[in-house]
Amino acid sequence: MKIKLIIIFLCLMPSLVSFAQKKPEPFADGDRVVFAGNSITEAGFYETYIWLYYITHFPERKITVYNGGIGGDVARQIYLRMDSDLLAVKPTVLSVSFGMNDSRYFEYWMQKDRTDSVRKSAIDTSYKWFEKIRDKVNAYPGIKKIVMSSSPYDETVKNGKDPFWGKFKTMEGIVAFQKEAAVQNNWSYVDLFYPMTYINTKGQETDTAFTITGPDRIHPGNAGHFVMAYLFLKSQGLANKPVSNIVINAGNKKVVRADNATIREVNKTASGISFRYLARSLPFPMDSSARVWENPQKQYEALKLIPFVKEFDEEMLTVQGLHATGNYVLKIDGSTIKNFTGAELNEGINLALLSNTPQYRQAVQIAALQWQHKELEDKMRGFYWVSYNYLLDKGWFFRDSPAITDSVMAKAKTDWAIASKKDQYLAMKDRQDRVAAMQQMNVITDKMYALAQPVEHTVTIQKNDQ
């Protein structure tokens, strides 16, 4: 019941959003999309999943998605790196997200009797720097602007750790001005905060330890990032666009329906039918790894909470006119995929859920390339993190010398954050290495889109008498 209620809410979510809010447009061919944010963005997962959906679903629409996150950032720091980082890649779309760090942390423990003043200071400071971001970006009318609220701080999960009581309410204040500012400035708006809070609240009704974020109440795990990607894609109006939806009548060889696909050479045999199938999209390849540090969530676990398969990942095959009680074997390009009853085929099967189809394997290959792309971009973000959070104040921004390297290495011995980024910094500190990495990322992007192009397959459905 809990899961059913969550999914119902998310299906109805568009009707619950104020009509005044402008929705982000779907990305267009040639778009260069930058997601600016803090460590949640720097982790790179929700952007990866958004881009992977576009590559697999719209292979003819080549876009580039850039990770513009740096851990620890607040609105002020996002503003300070606008020119040298975020705008430097010449985006056509810029999504700005902040609030988790802006709403502060230990102040709620250290100043328990002054929570209201802490909150007001945090919101006012965040808003002041957002105004600077707004003015800076509004000077670029060719850039489409998006305000995306932060994922929530999970103040209510029971995990044996005391929360920063009052932080959630401060985040609400930041979300409120983000939403209002989006309307005033004609920016698009994406809400992650309240839908993810709803998921947490409903889940905790029956399991107090449930959270879509993570053990630290701050950083979503792999499932949480997938929920974020789902909410973003849904806000773009991309739900209910199938991978394909084909209906064939085996009795008269007629193609009843072929949405986002082309069917030809339908042949009836003594034991079934065969046809040529060309879908214009690929299924979305699900990941089964826990990729976020100290968070056990896996991407596919989010499918229990969001109707992603129903809304974004249906590759439906329906074959009418088969004997309901008969057993049939589905083959694609001569390889056995799975056995089905005639009743199941007449009802319709979702090929996207079958990981052994050639089209699913094609999508998996794209995902593997994308992880290579992400590994390179992670190194770049680590370099930028050290540059902005350590070298900038020392007057060493974007400079390289043995003395600077020695300073970073010495600092890493006493600073866990620097220690976690030093290897990435060392890999990218030379400008020529950064240029080479960008070139390699561009090559990988070209390979992903080349691999995503539609491939025609031969599908056979034969009666299996065994």
> Could you report the per-residue pLDDT of 245-258, keeping only the tens digit for each?
999 999 999 999 99
Structure tokens at 398: 């974007």
pLDDT at 56: 98
Gap between the Cα atoms of 456 and 200, Å rounded: 43
pLDDT at 168: 98
Superfamily of segment(s) 2-235: SGNH hydrolase (3.40.50.1110)
User: Which distant-in-sequence residues (6+ apart) come within 8 Å of 365 by Cβ?
Assistant: 451
pLDDT at 1: 44
pLDDT at 466: 61
Weakest mean pLDDT among 146-155, 245-254, 285-294, 376-385: 285-294
Q: Where are the beta strands (DSSP E) in 70-162?
A: 93-96, 144-148
User: Which distant-in-sequence residues (6+ apart) come within 8 Å of 185 by Cβ?
Assistant: 134, 138, 145
Structure tokens at 177: 């001005």
Query: Could you report the per-residue pLDDT of 303-317, keeping only the tens digit for each?
Result: 999 999 999 999 999
Closest CA relative to residue 57, chosen from 301, 289, 311, 276: 311
pLDDT at 335: 97
Could you tell me the sign of the dihedral formed by the alpha carbons of 71, 75, 78, 80, in that order? negative
User: Which distant-in-sequence residues (6+ apart) come within 8 Å of 114 by Cβ?
Assistant: none
pLDDT at 135: 97
Q: Give percent of the chain above pLDDT 70.
A: 96
Query: Could you report the per-residue pLDDT of 202-214, keeping only the tens digit for each?
Result: 999 999 999 999 8
Closest CA relative to residue 165, chosen from 173, 154, 149, 176: 154
Q: What is the DSSP secondary structure assignment for residue 253, as one 8-state letter? A: T
Flag whether pLDDT at 19 surpasses 90: no
Structure tokens at 349: 């099967």
Weakest mean pLDDT among 107-116, 147-156, 239-248: 107-116
Question: What's the whole-number mean pLDDT along residues 351-371?
Answer: 98
pLDDT bucket at 20, cuts 50 / 70 / 90: confident
- Strands 144-148 and 188-190 turn out to be parallel
Q: Give percent of the chain above pLDDT 90.
A: 91
pLDDT at 17: 47
Whole-number mean pLDDT of the chain? 95
Structure tokens at 378: 């992670």
- What 3-state DSSP class applies to 190? strand
- What 3-state DSSP class applies to 350? strand
Flag whether pLDDT at 357 surpasses 90: yes
Weakest mean pLDDT among 1-5, 285-289, 387-391, 438-442: 1-5
pLDDT bucket at 15, cuts 50 / 70 / 90: very low
pLDDT at 431: 95
Identify the H or E element spanning 308: helix 308-312
Gap between the Cα atoms of 462 and 273, Å rounded: 7
Gap between the Cα atoms of 31 and 311, Å rounded: 24
Task: Answer whether 59's CB lies under 8 Å from 454's CB.
Answer: yes
pLDDT at 179: 97
Weakest mean pLDDT among 2-16, 127-141, 375-389: 2-16
Give the residue extent of every domain in the chain. 2-235, 244-280+314-466
The amino acid present at 103, given as its one-letter code, is: S
Query: Could you report the per-residue pLDDT of 37-58, keeping only the tens digit for each?
Result: 999 999 999 999 999 999 999 9
pLDDT at 456: 98
Question: What's the whole-number mean pLDDT along residues 417-422?
Answer: 96
Question: What's the whole-number mean pLDDT along residues 16-30?
Answer: 83
pLDDT at 11: 60
Task: Answer whether 143's CB lies under 8 Å from 137's CB.
Answer: yes
Gap between the Cα atoms of 67 and 85, Å rounded: 10
Flag whether pLDDT at 113 surpasses 90: no
Query: Could you report the per-residue pLDDT of 136-194, keeping only the tens digit for each?
Result: 999 999 999 999 999 999 999 999 999 999 999 999 999 999 999 999 999 999 999 99
Flag whether pLDDT at 14 surpasses 70: no
- Please give the distance of CA 180 from its chain centroid, rounded to a whole number: 24
Flag whether pLDDT at 284 surpasses 90: yes
Q: Computed over its alpha carbons, how large is the radius of gyration of the chain? A: 25
Gap between the Cα atoms of 307 and 305, Å rounded: 7
Ramachandran region, residue 22 (left: φ > 0; alpha: ψ -120 to 50; beta: rest)? beta
Residue 289: phi, psi to the nearest 5? Answer: -105, 150
- CA–CA distances in Å: residue 130 to residues 24, 78, 82, 143: 19, 9, 12, 17
- Strands 272-279 and 261-268 turn out to be antiparallel
DSSP codes joined into one string, 369-417: HHHHHHHHHHHHHHHHHHIIIIIGGGT-TT---HHHHHHHHHHHTT-HH
Structure tokens at 391: 């070298």
pLDDT bucket at 427, cuts 50 / 70 / 90: very high
